[in-house]
Amino acid sequence: MSSAVPPSHPPVSPAPSEGGVASDPRRPRIGLLPRILVAIALGVAVGLVSPDWLARLAVTFTSLFSAFLGFIVPVLIVALVAPAIAELGRGAGRWLGLTASIAYLSTVLGGFLSLAVAVALFPRILTPGSIGGVTDPSEATAAPFFEVEMGPPFGVMTALLLAFVLGIGMTLIPRGVMQRGFEELRTVIERVVSGLIVPLLPVYIFGIFLAMAAAGEVFTVIATFLGVILIVFALTVVLLLLQFLVAGAVSRRNPLRALRTMLPAYATALGTSSSAATIPVTLRQVTALGVRGPIASFVVPLAATIHLAGSTVKIVAFSTAVIILSGGAVDVPLMVGFIFMLGITMVAAPGVPGGAIVAASGLLSTMLGFTEPMVALMVATYIAIDSFGTATNVTGDGAIALVMDRIAGDRITGHGGLEADAGARAEDAHA
What's the pLDDT score for residue 246? Answer: 93
What mean pLDDT comes out for the span 215-225? 68
Torsion of CA 18, 23, 29, 33, to 10 degrees: -20
| Lowest model confidence (mean pLDDT) among 26-30, 84-88, 145-149 | 26-30
CA 298/CA 99 separation, integer angstroms: 9
Query: Confidence class of residue 201 from pLDDT cuts 50, 70 and 90?
Result: confident
Q: Are 62 and 372 in contact (CB under 8 A)?
A: yes
> Is residue 71 domain-resident?
no
pLDDT digits (tens, 9 = 90+) for 366-424: 888 888 778 877 877 777 677 788 889 889 999 999 998 888 766 654 434 444 444 44
> Is residue 200 domain-resident?
no
> Which residue has better confidence, 169 or 127?
169
State pTM to two decimals: 0.67
What's the pLDDT score for residue 29? Answer: 64
Radius of gyration (C-alpha) of the chain in whole angstroms: 21
Domains held by the chain: number: 1
pLDDT digits (tens, 9 = 90+) for 221-275: 677 777 788 888 899 999 999 999 999 999 888 999 999 999 888 887 776 666 7
Instruction: Tell whether the model's pLDDT for residue 30 goes beyond 90.
Output: no
> Is residue 351 domain-resident?
yes
- Residue 106: C-alpha distances to residues 86, 112, 119, 267, 290 (Å): 21, 10, 20, 21, 21
Q: Are 225 and 307 in contact (CB under 8 A)?
A: no
Instruction: Tell whether the model's pLDDT for residue 336 goes beyond 90.
Output: yes
> Is residue 115 domain-resident?
yes
What's the pLDDT score for residue 137? Answer: 42
> Is residue 47 domain-resident?
no
What's the pLDDT score for residue 328? Answer: 82
Q: Percent of the chain scored above 70 by pLDDT?
A: 76
* Distance between start and end Cα atoms, the chain: 22
> Which residue has better confidence, 131 or 136?
131
Instruction: Residue 253: give its domain's CATH number.
Output: 1.10.3860.10
In 3D space, the residue among 295, 280, 269 whose CA is nearest the CA of residue 396 turns out to be 269
> Is residue 24 domain-resident?
no
Kindly report the number of other CB atoms within 10 A of residue 149's CB atom. Answer: 6
| Lowest model confidence (mean pLDDT) among 1-15, 26-40, 91-105, 321-335 | 1-15
What mean pLDDT comes out for the span 163-179? 84
Residue 237 lies in domain: 92-141+215-430
The dihedral built from the CA positions of residue 331, 334, 336 and 339, taken in this order, carries a sign that is negative
Query: Confidence class of residue 28 from pLDDT cuts 50, 70 and 90?
Result: low
Instruction: Tell whether the model's pLDDT for residue 302 goes beyond 50.
Output: yes
> Is residue 189 domain-resident?
no
> Is residue 272 domain-resident?
yes
Query: Confidence class of residue 205 from pLDDT cuts 50, 70 and 90?
Result: confident
| Lowest model confidence (mean pLDDT) among 67-76, 308-317, 344-353 | 344-353
Q: What is the mean pLDDT of the chain?
A: 76
> Which residue has better confidence, 353 or 180?
180
